[in-house]
Amino acid sequence: MTRRKQAAPDKITAPAKARVVTPLTARATTPEPVDAATLREIFSRLSAANPEPRSDLEYLNAYTLLVAVVLSAQATDKSVNIATAPLFARADNPAAMLALGEETVRHHIRTIGLFNTKAKNVIALSRILVEQHGGEVPRAREHLEVLPGVGKKTASVVLNVAFGEPTIAVDTHIFRVSNRIPLAPGSTTDKVQAGLEAIVPEPYRLNAHHWLILHGRYVCKARKPECWRCPIAELCRYPDKTPGPG
């Protein structure tokens, strides 16, 4: 009688060791916001470099400024200026824009992103201005923010540029610059705006919006800030400064 070979017992292995996942945390070297003296010096230098800053958008009055800012959403100021030059030559007030009609407005701005929606908004806001505000751009934020295509940022730009109010409209450039330096860091544009408006020294509040947006657009760029030619480089606490070329 042949004896069957007993099968070897299954090999018992130890349970796999659980992988420990380390949660992502903010970099340990994230700097504290600049102090009040440094903040004043930063704006003093930006002011000295550009005493009378202006928006890159081209406009004729408060109404054309409003339209230009509405059109600039997700578009460059240069592309908006190219489209609005002939448009504003034909219509520089709400009544004239309504007379042109949506189809003509659409034709003028067809090279700008989201032009179909923007044409509808321009006509709709123009109608509201004619019917509810006597054809004038209102100076009250609550009236501006309910206009089609107008949000907090657009309203802040109009209030600042057209009516001289010391508001700071936070776009992607200002958001980046404020968090990099840092001036008034925040996780949202609203938080950054509130922070900046609370700390910018009074003599610089009116033009702070322009200085910061231009600084972010031409010097403190998103992918590669040009730190080597920055007028506030030694005041900025950004830890990853870009070395000079060459």
Q: Which residues have a catalytic role annotated?
A: 153, 171
Where do we find the tokens 């005493």? 51
Contact between 242 and 225 under an 8 Å Cβ cutoff? The reply is: yes
Give the residue from 151, 71, 148 showing the smallest Cα distance to 111.
71
Where do we find the tokens 């003599």? 203
Give the residue from 200, 164, 159 showing the smallest Cα distance to 34.
200
Contact between 126 and 94 under an 8 Å Cβ cutoff? The reply is: yes
Cα(79)–Cα(207) distance, rounded to whole angstroms? 24
Amino acid letter for position 240:
D
